[in-house]
Structure 1
Amino acid sequence: MPNDRRGYRSEVRREPSTSRFEASRLSPGRRAQDVARLRRERFDVLIIGGGVTGAGAALDAASRGLSVALVEARDLASGTSSRSSKLIHGGLRYLEQLEFGLVAEALQERGLLATRLAPHLVRPVPILVPLPAHRGLTGAVHRVWQRAYYGAGVGLYDAFATAAQLRGSAPRGMPLHRHLSRAETHRRFPSLREDAISGAIQYFDGQVDDARLVTTLARTAASLGAAIVPSARAVGLLRDAREVTGVRVRDLESREEFEVHARTVVAATGVWMDDIAGLLSNGGPRESAGLQVRASKGVHLVVPRSAITGEAGLILRTQTSVLFVIPWGGHWIIGTTDTDWHLDRGHPAASATDISYLLGQVNEVLDRPLSTEDIEGVYAGLRPLLSREARQRQPHSRDEQTSALSRTHAVVEPMLGLMLIAGGKYTTYRVMAADVIDRVAHRLGGLRRHGGLVPASRTADLPLLGADGYHSLWTNRADLARRHGISVGVLEHLLERYGSLAFDVLALDPALRRPLPGAPEYLAAEVAYAALAEGALHLEDVLTRRTRISFETDHRGAASAAETAEVMGAVLGWDAATRAREIEHYLARVAAEQESQRMPDDLTADAARLGVPDVRGFQSDRTAIS
């Protein structure tokens, strides 16, 4: 691409030269090298799926000294792992389901992430549990009982986190809960209807940019030698009799197919787990994959911070689940729904009914009702829930609620050399990863603690990229901002997204420090960095996952698309036709999503969303793993 007056090509050539950056960056050149590795090496473990579990498993295995490859059909975190409620939490509602072990485990992981592993990505967010108002003498009894009931639950939640700290397994990482009067509650959250509450209990959980955590996991694994290849789809399993020996992969950028050989294969494919059965059958009678996963759709709305006045989030009870109202920078995230989904898994669609439901639920407690005019963005994701059969219980009835299914996980080996990992929750990804790699280790010769060849997991003590030195950088951010000639606000934004790697972003040409059109809180340098170091290959990868412009702006990224394509194109070598094609596809995708959100039900919403094919060309590939 010829240079233009803004000199994009010269801008992005000023790259950081540190060995840490070189080892971890997922650049176009690194992808080509990793594809070459896939073709020639035999790996100890090959992981299918680039969500949080797959990326976590790649890091766990690489940190034990195993040779690791990961292939992802679309983009890192492009499925469930970028479409969550953005919370690292123990699951307060699971206490009512008596899932004490799950809650304790998740709170331990929350503490590790917030203090040791990723303090730059996971930070405390206060959340209020509003206590409903009741009048009269009977009402007074109800108020006392409800405060005691919810207080006991939140107290137990804190107790589990404190117990982990006392054991030395994980710091708390979050402040303790406290009770608020009606007046205190209204001061903390003025938009709550005073007649709807009698007070609240405030507790803390962790907030995270889910897609950024997955990218950081993948890069940390890459820094330890893992081959990380997005846009590479598993289309078949290689077998020697009853043993899986690798995977046939289609490179969706070059459209070439080749074989990847491995001693073990791990499928961390979430709601696509059932597709493993199709690959196992190899054209014959369909075999059981050993796990049954149900997809539950969760829809979230994003509204501007000005639409609701409050200093904390909310957790509200609904008839089927819970509803979160969570502060997210200059926005609020409102979610989620919890309904079965049987349609396209790559692009779950939010319908007008989903949106109406969420608005109706939140408006029951707000003094100024929200409307569709307030909505800036909408996103939908699919939770991979283990069905009761997968947990060796009685078969579920047809009307079983997905909200009642367990968030525990399972690891099975339906065929020698093939491990499946499914279920669980985002917060416990590290435990899931360690469990499945333990199974891999036993197959490869056993864990070292039992006299085998592979050491035990050490990811509980392995900070992710950007974590080292973060607290010191944050403390000295004002001085650092002056030294680099940027505002404190810009440096805070970068530190909370990249940690100590923020200075790799700033090491790019200063001309790239300009804000993006339509999304001034993001810099053009972040776009260049996404393509240069974070594995972004397409425009939607940056607008939807490396940044969150696609749901943080009322234009859904349309106003930022042209400039983003220019900056990305300079890194990836796009010509004018490629840039135009990327922009056209992205705008068509936005239009299709907006149209689906006007449809009355799942079926019509799904049809509207599928009017635009995937940018990686999935329409003809329906039989392989997504």
Structure 2
Amino acid sequence: MSTSGTSSKLTPQSRAQSLDALRASAEGEPLDVLVIGGGVTGAGIALDAVTRGLTTAVVESQDWAAGTSSRSSKLVHGGLRYLQMLDFNLVHEALTERDLLIKKLAPHLVKPVSFLYPLEHRVWERGYVGAGIMLYDTLASLIPGKRALPFHKHVSRKGMERLFPDLRHDAAVGAVRYWDGSVDDARLVSTLIRTAASYGASAATRTQVVELTKDSGGRVDGAVLQDLETGDTFPVKARNVINATGVWTEETEGLAGEEGGLRVLASKGVHIVVPRERIKGTVGLILQTEKSVLFVIPWSRYWVIGTTDTPWKQELKHPVATAADIEYVLDHANAVLADPLTKDDIIGTWAGLRPLLQPGTKEGTSSAKVSREHTVASPAPGLTVIAGGKLTTYRVMAEDAVDFALGDGAKARPSITTEVPLLGAVGLDVQQNWGRRHARTYGWTPALVDHLLHRYGSLLSDIVELCETDPSMSKPLEHAPAYLRAEIAYAVSHEGVLHLEDILLHRTRLNYEVADRGLAALEEISQIAAAGLGWDEDTRLAEVASYTARAEAEAAAELEPDDESAERTRLAAADVSPTATLSPR
């Protein structure tokens, strides 16, 4: 698998080439590493492995980041709550990764965001909270080099009212303002995958592992894959198989026919989205609730408010927000807002499942507990499993997983991902300097240029090239003017889109950042996608119908009172590429 001239473009053609490379491994030289799971951890593992000089492939049964990794709180943070548990090493690790992303690896994708921690008591709480956040900042200061983010500041009631006018006057006597990072989680994942592909990794979505195979000695030596687009099933061989499937961890482990492995439970977290103009404020809020932490996060043209933390016992693929979830978030946000929100203010929601690692491993499993947050284990020789963790520390998790898989061989091939910027990071300052010229040329507002730089970084030059070739691409979508037509074309030509829902859910955020889930823009988006993917009219209309049914089912599910009824309502819409039913060996 040569890296010479390897492109970062993800296309149906590159997917076909990746599947051919996977098939070839069964006949010739096995892969060094096969990664199962295309969330942030799997994407990070693929990049870590391929940059060590290992032949690498990563497969995902749906779209990149289709599970938990597109449904997070979209924060890159150190985890203030771990200071209460005196877990200083974990906080320092997460802060190190946060600052590495902001300063070097992905400065276009990860941006500083500040929060107010409201205080209800003048003296003791300011001292207690202030000391905790001081420690948070001090741990960040231990990281070599210039600080990535400002020090925290104490804020008076008057200052608090200036920063967040819509904070209820009697909700706090003052606040502490501190900084963390925000990220478009799905774009982080797709950028990791594209970066891995640029170094020679094979990458294929809609490709499901339906069996894990073993050699005569009982070592896992590969898998059987099913191409969900065609139904074709074929074997692949690999010296190391790494399972990074999050809430599907136990399901995937079972394919090896072993009793061992990690135990993972799913917990649902729900977020709501309201327009930016609906709440007057320039910073975020962090609020303690009886069940979890609630964030009010300024994000682009809107606010993201969440999250919940409730057990999820339904199917894992389509968690949805219920009426009770939405009411819970509204009630807790309204407890501090001067102008209370109503359901009519909500333009979107999403629900994600956290993979909660349970204590201990199953009998017969060799494991290395590498963090309070995540664990790497081996339920069978040749199979490595990683679970737990959080988005911020994906790179550390990836390094730990590959180290564990290689064993003693890791010393000869150490991880280098602290020195590997993601696509769009190198040359970012150049494109920032060209931003004003692009704005004048195409009539783009400063806000739109910022939007493009945040999404593409130095790859903005690719968007400009599309606009130069076809000037109509420089125009906003008629019914979703926050996005250019070029962004849809680019998603098709460079970002691995196979279906219309990939664009609406993961390459843009239209599924939850406009009230109609992007349905008004569907005609224009589908025409651009059809031109790029070569769809005939029947295929285009089928894609429109599939996404429309999904959007309507999600909207109806939000009206249901509980998880069981919401799931039934959501599953009324069929999947565009249904997964195969797995049968443990």
Q: TM-score range by the shorter chain?
A: over 0.9
Give the Å deviation of 1:97: 2.3
Q: After superposition, what is the alpha-carbon deviation per residue over 1:501-526, rounded to whole angstroms, capped at 9, x for unaligned?
A: 01112211222122113210101111
Residues 249, 260 of structure 1: 8 Å contact kept? yes
**Residue 163 (structure 2) pairs with residue 156 (structure 1):** no
* Pairing of 1:129-168 with structure 2 (within 5 A): 129-132=117-120, 142-165=121-144
Give the Å deviation of 1:489: 3.4
Q: Which amino acid is the alignment partner of residue 296 of structure 2? A: V
Q: After superposition, what is the alpha-carbon deviation per residue over 1:326-346, rounded to whole angstroms, capped at 9, x for unaligned?
A: 011110000000111111111
Q: TM-score, normalised by structure 1?
A: 0.88
Q: After superposition, what is the alpha-carbon deviation per residue over 1:46-65, rounded to whole angstroms, capped at 9, x for unaligned?
A: 00000000000000001111
Change (3 A) 1:489 1:622: same
Q: Which amino acid is the alignment partner of residue 185 of structure 1? A: M
Q: Counterpart in 2 of 1:233?
A: 208
Q: Counterpart in 2 of 1:94?
A: 82
Give the Å deviation of 1:391: 11
* Pairing of 1:450-461 with structure 2 (within 5 A): 455-461=413-419
Q: Counterpart in 2 of 1:79?
A: 67
Q: Give the secondary-structure state (helix, strand or coil) at the position aligned to 2:262.
A: coil
Give the Å deviation of 1:597: 0.6
* Pairing of 1:321-400 with structure 2 (within 5 A): 321-390=292-361
Change (3 A) 1:496 1:200: same
CA distance in 2, matches of 1:226, 1:472: 28
Match of 1:562 among 517, 523, 544: 523
CA distance in 2, matches of 1:507, 1:562: 24
Q: After superposition, what is the alpha-carbon deviation per residue over 1:450-492, rounded to whole angstroms, capped at 9, x for unaligned?
A: xxxxx21010111000000113432452234336664443322
Q: TM-score, normalised by structure 2?
A: 0.94
Q: Counterpart in 2 of 1:396?
A: none
**Residue 107 (structure 2) pairs with residue 119 (structure 1):** yes
CA distance in 2, matches of 1:437, 1:536: 28
Q: Give the secondary-structure state (helix, strand or coil) at the position aligned to 1:588.
A: helix
Match of 2:411 among 417, 430, 447: 447
Residues 303, 333 of structure 1: 8 Å contact kept? yes
Give the Å deviation of 1:613: 1.9
Match of 1:261 among 237, 242, 246: 237
Q: After superposition, what is the alpha-carbon deviation per residue over 1:236-283, rounded to whole angstroms, capped at 9, x for unaligned?
A: 0111142111010000111100111111100000000010233122xx
Change (3 A) 1:234 1:391: closer
Q: Counterpart in 2 of 1:6?
A: none
Q: Counterpart in 1 of 2:368?
A: none
Q: After superposition, what is the alpha-carbon deviation per residue over 1:103-137, rounded to whole angstroms, capped at 9, x for unaligned?
A: 110000000000100000001001110112xxxxx
Q: Which amino acid is the alignment partner of residue 477 of structure 2? A: L
CA distance in 2, matches of 1:153, 1:122: 24
Match of 1:575 among 536, 542, 545: 536
Residues 20, 223 of structure 1: 8 Å contact kept? no
Residues 260, 361 of structure 2: 8 Å contact kept? no
* Pairing of 1:291-310 with structure 2 (within 5 A): 291-310=262-281
CA distance in 2, matches of 1:543, 1:21: 31
Q: Give the secondary-structure state (helix, strand or coil) at the position aligned to 1:143.
A: coil
**Residue 458 (structure 2) pairs with residue 474 (structure 1):** no
Identity of aligned residues (%): 51
Question: Runs of 5+ in structure 2 lacking a partner?
Answer: 364-370
* Pairing of 1:430-579 with structure 2 (within 5 A): 430-442=395-407, 445-448=409-412, 455-482=413-440, 486-508=444-466, 509-579=470-540
What's the RMSD between the two structures over aligned residues?
Answer: 1.8
Residues 119, 125 of structure 2: 8 Å contact kept? yes
Change (3 A) 1:341 1:219: same
Q: Counterpart in 2 of 1:11?
A: none
* Pairing of 1:402-441 with structure 2 (within 5 A): 408-441=373-406
Residues 385, 407 of structure 1: 8 Å contact kept? no
CA distance in 1, matches of 2:332, 2:16: 49
Residues 313, 325 of structure 1: 8 Å contact kept? yes
Q: Which amino acid is the alignment partner of residue 453 of structure 2? A: L
Question: Runs of 5+ in structure 1 lacking a partner?
Answer: 1-18, 133-141, 282-286, 393-405, 449-454
Give the Å deviation of 1:493: 1.7
Residues 250, 261 of structure 2: 8 Å contact kept? no
Match of 2:23 among 13, 32, 39: 39
Stretch deviating more after TM superposition (506-515 or 268-277): 506-515
Give the Å deviation of 1:23: 1.0
Residues 274, 289 of structure 1: 8 Å contact kept? no
Q: Which amino acid is the alignment partner of residue 365 of structure 1? A: V
Q: Which amino acid is the alignment partner of residue 234 of structure 2? A: F
Q: Give the secondary-structure state (helix, strand or coil) at the position aligned to 1:378.
A: strand
Q: Which amino acid is the alignment partner of residue 97 of structure 1? A: M
Q: How many residues align?
A: 567
Give the Å deviation of 1:624: 6.1
Residues 213, 256 of structure 2: 8 Å contact kept? no
CA distance in 2, matches of 1:485, 1:352: 42
* Pairing of 1:206-225 with structure 2 (within 5 A): 206-225=181-200
